Chains A and B, each alone.
Chain A
Amino acid sequence: MTAIPLGHLLILGAILFSIGLVGVLTRRNMLVMLMSVEVMLNAVNLTLVAFSRYRGWTEGHVLAFFIIAVAAAEAAVGLAMVLSVFRLKQTVYIDDLKLLKR
């Protein structure tokens, strides 16, 4: 376990975060966008836990737990909103939402 250097985990975190960010910015399916946000949050968790593990700190673990809880709440709110959009418009693609002009 400790054979993997800290830098590798941080880089993995950065890659995951970028994947998530690019996903939100480029995908048009709202469900996939929600998933991408979750990927970003988990990349943060990975970074926090990596720092804590390698430096023997504790607060990062605590914050990671908070983030997991908040991510769950966020998913609940997000899916509820996607659902209410789907009820009104029968679509999950954000490009179909153009009632409010950009």
Chain B
Amino acid sequence: MLHDLALTTPLLILLFAALFTLVVDPFLPPEEGNRRFWGYFGAAASLTSVLAAALLWKFGPHEMQTAPFAYHLSATGYSLFFVALVGLCAALTHLASPRYLVEHGIAYGEFYALLHFATFGMATMISAESLITLFIGLEIMSMSVYVLVAFKRTSAASVEAGLKYFIMGSVASALLLYGTAFLYGLSGGTSFVEIQRALTKPTTGNDDLYLGLAVALTASAFLFKVAAAPLHMWAPDAYEGAPTPITGYMASAVKVAGFAAFLKFLYACLSGPAVDELHTALPKILATVAVLSMTLGNLIALSQRSAKRTLAYSSIAHAGYLLLGCVAWVADPALAGYHQPSGAVPFYLVGYALASLAAFAALASVGKGGEEQTGEVQLVGMGRQYPFAGAVLGLAMISLAGVPPTLGFFGKLQLARDVLAVDDAKYLPHIIILVLNSVVSAYYYLRITVWVYMRPEARQPRQYLTEPSLQWAMGIAAAGLLLIGLLPQRAMNIGQRSVAQIRTGVALQHLKYEFAQQGPQKVAEPVAVAPEAAEAAPGPAPAPAAPVAQGE
């Protein structure tokens, strides 16, 4: 029992931080110092949670013991990696928020409590090993984020954004649940292991129908959450109306959590001989959605005049790039969920999350007096009047565009390699579209940089928020982008090791057993990596992932 709790320490830290904030905040006098205190407290708590995840990663239990609470949660390398990543995003958001909130007249302690709850929900969702925990985590996250988007109650834009996001989001939740109900009807259980076990036998009759419905419904729910193309309509509105630090949080943490849970669901739940057909259909669908999403996102972003809205469309485009990375996970029917997935998606997510956080933290520092100021007019002259934020914004843009020395470039490179490693003839057109899209996107990313640096300045100097905590947030995100960009190999190895542990030991055992029953033709050696073995040889050199050679 204690052991189970110990495995969920990163989650518990976030939960208790939220409760502590809620309980203590009403008793603090509403002075500005106290209001800022919660930002630092929140960052410290989130980083503690990251530290706990890192310690579990390093000294954690053996593979077989990583599924606490009767296999409803997991503390595998995969879960811990993404819990740490959303924890980091949350910490930077906490740091970026206090001054912005004071300036906009919404400095309430509940903001930080909700941020903790949202992060806790994400961590639960990422660690989920059953559809029940997945759903609960997703709802805790979504509900907190809806409120955070609408947090500026006096602003019609913020409330409108929140409401639109809420209505669309609750439809997505209902779709996910309906899909869950069919998976349950198919397998009699809700845990990933049980569902996968049911899918090791070929389905017939009604079960086929259930499976088709279930996959369509759940996949569209996840595609909604990560804002992929046909289901992206909420994203620009929600991103624009939300308080800027929250926009950064949505672009980074919500997207990370969505992709982490989606990939785990695809890989650890929806795979097996029964879904062989899916394994021919699903990559096609995902690749189509990916191409649509990146093209649409980039083209619409070209015509936007506000930096916030441009970045919202850019986030749709990035969802497309990442979905193409997901294709590498599901595209190999011969190995139906057995080959080792590529580490490119986690690696790309690190770069994307850091760049988004840096960009939105820099945008949050523009303008005083409580109005949103992220248009062209407001950004002009930022490079000279507030060089630090200008430089961070420029760096983030360069990384998002994927220019070589930054993390964004290595992410895209690795992603393209992994997809091509699966089937280079089939996916070459997709990769070409990806490259063309990157070229198109460079136009609007660089346009923002041009606004910042190369336009004649406004007559009177603008005012910027020069709060130390906001500068810390920008500095940490930018430093991460540069440092990991200079040494991508190590981060890549960590990403690789995390995906090597995507299944719990129990799931691996089940799979071995089931496949032994079915005959040996499909059994590739499953990736049971004990932590010590993985430590000795980081990234057990999977077939589709050629390590990045540049930059070291």
Which residues of A are at the interface with B, using a C-beta cutoff of 8 A? 10, 13, 17, 20-21, 24, 30, 33-34, 37, 40-41, 43-44, 47-48, 51, 55, 57, 59-60, 62-63, 66-67, 70, 73-74, 77-78, 81-82, 84-85, 88-89, 94, 97, 99-100, 102
Contacts and interface: CB of A to CB of B under 8 A. Distances in A.
Contacts of B468: none
Contacts of A59: 132, 184, 188-190
Contacts of B156: 85, 88-89, 97, 99
Given A37-B167, A63-B180, A74-B143, 7 more contacts: A37-B174, A41-B177, A70-B139, A73-B143, A84-B153, A88-B154, A97-B156
Contact of B170 (A37, A62, A94): A37
The dominant DSSP class at the A interface is helix
A100 B170 contact: no
B240 interface: yes
A77 B146 contact: yes
A3 to B, nearest CB: 20
In order of increasing CB-CB distance, the 7 nearest A-B pairs are A40-B174, A47-B181, A51-B185, A100-B237, A44-B177, A97-B160, A37-B170
B177 A85 contact: no
A76 B241 CA distance: 21
Given A59-B132, A63-B184, A81-B162, A24 B167 contact: yes
Nearest to A42: B174
Contacts of A94: 163-164, 167
A100 B163 contact: no
Given A59-B184, A63-B190, A77-B143, A85 B159 contact: yes
- If over half of B's interface residues share one DSSP class (helix, strand or loop), that class is named, otherwise mixed; here it is helix
Which range contains the number of B residues in contact with the other chain? Answer: 35 or more
Contacts of B160: 85, 97, 99-100
Given A43-B178, A100-B161, A81 B150 contact: yes
27 contacts: A13-B181, A21-B171, A30-B167, A37-B174, A40-B178, A43-B178, A44-B178, A47-B181, A57-B184, A59-B132, A63-B135, A63-B190, A66-B132, A66-B135, A66-B136, A73-B139, A74-B143, A77-B143, A77-B146, A78-B170, A81-B150, A81-B159, A82-B163, A97-B156, A97-B160, A99-B157, A100-B161
Contacts of A60: 181, 184
A48 B184 contact: yes
Interface string B209-248: 0000000000000000000000001001100110000000
B374 to A, nearest CB: 13
Nearest to B139: A70
A81 B157 contact: no
A102 B135 CA distance: 29
A43 B180 CA distance: 12
Contact of A47 (B178, B188, B233): B178
Contacts of A48: 181, 184
